């Protein structure tokens, strides 16, 4: 499973035939995110204007930027380009995320030694990448930096646990200096382990990026129950659906929202009751025309649920 094969929004002709064109640039655009506004996760590498234009064409007001393709290339010029495009297409960028540099293997056999800030061999490089992403996000006035911290040991006596506490604290402190939150994306660790990490790092800007499907794909928790543990710390949400792993070597299957095991109505209701006011970011790990069609279906499905909750 290639976890970082995100929304590329290809097949321009198919999409443009189905939806209206993007609005023209307006000098009066003032970014304003509504509570639980739907957004889209994109990888803007290669053609950032086309990627951002399609976010607006699909009817979203905001986007979550996956920026691993730009590692080592975060420049003021690139920031100026992104700022101009976000204004042109009247979009809010809610967060940036990097998970690299490689190696990254998204499974149970090699994931513990390759993902996040836990593996010692790649820890320093990942910390540097996150600092780069934070500095770039500051140039764009983006207030959230997110990543997978990895298979955090459940045993706090494991030496890797204390090392990871220090690594997360160092990155969170860097983000704090830039006026940002640092968010741990759910997935490889149990909600209790993530809660312990938040307590032990003990910094006010450390929070949770709740990925609704990852908790299931990694066999760690039901996302409804996870909100009972992590809800007060959730600062971003990836709306994604999935099924439990049945092969002990491989992650579970990510599927079209509404066809998996995530109870979005319960998850969103609990978050709303807790006062969550951030974006709900759709993430669909397919590509091409099917991905576009899936995103449109997922948007309609989630809009109906959110309408009831927010009414």
Per-residue pLDDT of the chain (311 residues; tens, 9 = 90+): 344 454 444 444 444 444 444 444 445 566 789 999 999 999 999 899 999 999 999 999 999 999 999 999 999 999 999 999 999 999 999 999 999 999 999 999 999 999 999 999 999 999 999 999 999 999 999 999 999 999 999 999 999 999 999 999 999 999 999 999 999 999 999 999 999 999 999 999 999 999 999 999 999 999 999 999 999 999 999 999 999 999 999 999 999 999 999 999 999 999 999 999 999 999 998 878 899 999 999 999 999 999 999 99
pLDDT of amino acid 25: 45
Closest CA to 95 of 133, 146, 138, 132: 146
Domains of the chain: 33-310 (3.20.20.150)
How confident is the model at residue 272, as a pLDDT? 98
Q: DSSP H helical segments within the chain, as ranges?
A: 12-16, 48-57, 76-88, 111-114, 120-139, 159-177, 191-201, 214-217, 223-230, 264-273, 288-310
| Confidence at residue 10, expressed as pLDDT on a 0 to 100 scale | 44
Give the 3-state secondary structure of residue 212: coil
CB 29 within 8 A of CB 22: no
Tokens of 71: 């590692």
CA dihedral 173, 176, 178, 181 (to 10 degrees): 120
Alpha carbon 6 to chain centroid distance?
10
Distance from C-alpha of 64 to C-alpha of 263, rounded to nearest angstrom? 22
What's phi and psi for 20, nearest 5 deg? -80, 160
In angstroms, the CA 133 to CA 119 distance is 20
- What is the per-residue pLDDT for 2? 45
Q: State residue 1's pLDDT score.
A: 38
Give the per-residue pLDDT at 29: 62
């Amino acid at each position: 499973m290639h976890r970082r094969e995100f929304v590329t929004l290809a097949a321009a002709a198919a999409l443009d035939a189905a939806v209206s064109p993007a609005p023209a640039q307006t000098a009066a655009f003032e970014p304003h995110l509504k509570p639980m506004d739907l957004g889209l996760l994109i990888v803007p590498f290669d053609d950032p204007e086309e990627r951002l234009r399609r976010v607006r064409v699909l009817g979203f007001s905001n986007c979550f930027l996956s920026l691993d393709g730009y590692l080592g290339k975060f420049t003021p010029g690139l920031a100026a380009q992104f700022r101009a495009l976000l204004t042109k297409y009247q979009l809010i960028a809610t967060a940036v995320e990097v998970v690299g540099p490689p190696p990254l293997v998204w499974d149970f056999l090699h994931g513990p030694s390759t993902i996040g800030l836990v593996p010692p061999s790649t820890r320093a490089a990942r910390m540097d990448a996150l600092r780069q992403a934070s500095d770039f996000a500051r140039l764009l006035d983006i207030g959230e930096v997110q990543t997978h911290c990895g298979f955090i040991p459940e045993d706090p006596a494991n030496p890797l646990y204390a090392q990871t506490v220090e690594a997360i604290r160092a990155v969170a402190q860097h983000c704090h200096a830039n006026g940002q939150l640092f968010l741990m994306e759910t997935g490889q660790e149990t909600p209790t382990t993530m809660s312990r990490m938040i307590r032990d790092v003990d910094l006010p800007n450390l929070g949770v990026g709740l990925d609704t499907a990852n908790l299931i794909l990694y066999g760690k928790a039901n996302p409804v129950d996870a909100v009972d543990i992590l809800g007060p710390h959730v600062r971003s949400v990836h709306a994604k659906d999935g099924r439990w792993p049945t092969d002990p070597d491989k992650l579970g299957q990510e599927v079209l929202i509404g066809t998996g095991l995530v109870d979005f109505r319960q998850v969103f209701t609990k978050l709303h009751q807790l006062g969550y006011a951030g974006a709900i970011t759709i993430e669909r790990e397919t590509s091409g025309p099917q991905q576009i069609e899936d995103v449109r279906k997922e948007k309609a499905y989630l809009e109906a649920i959110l309408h009831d909750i927010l009414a």
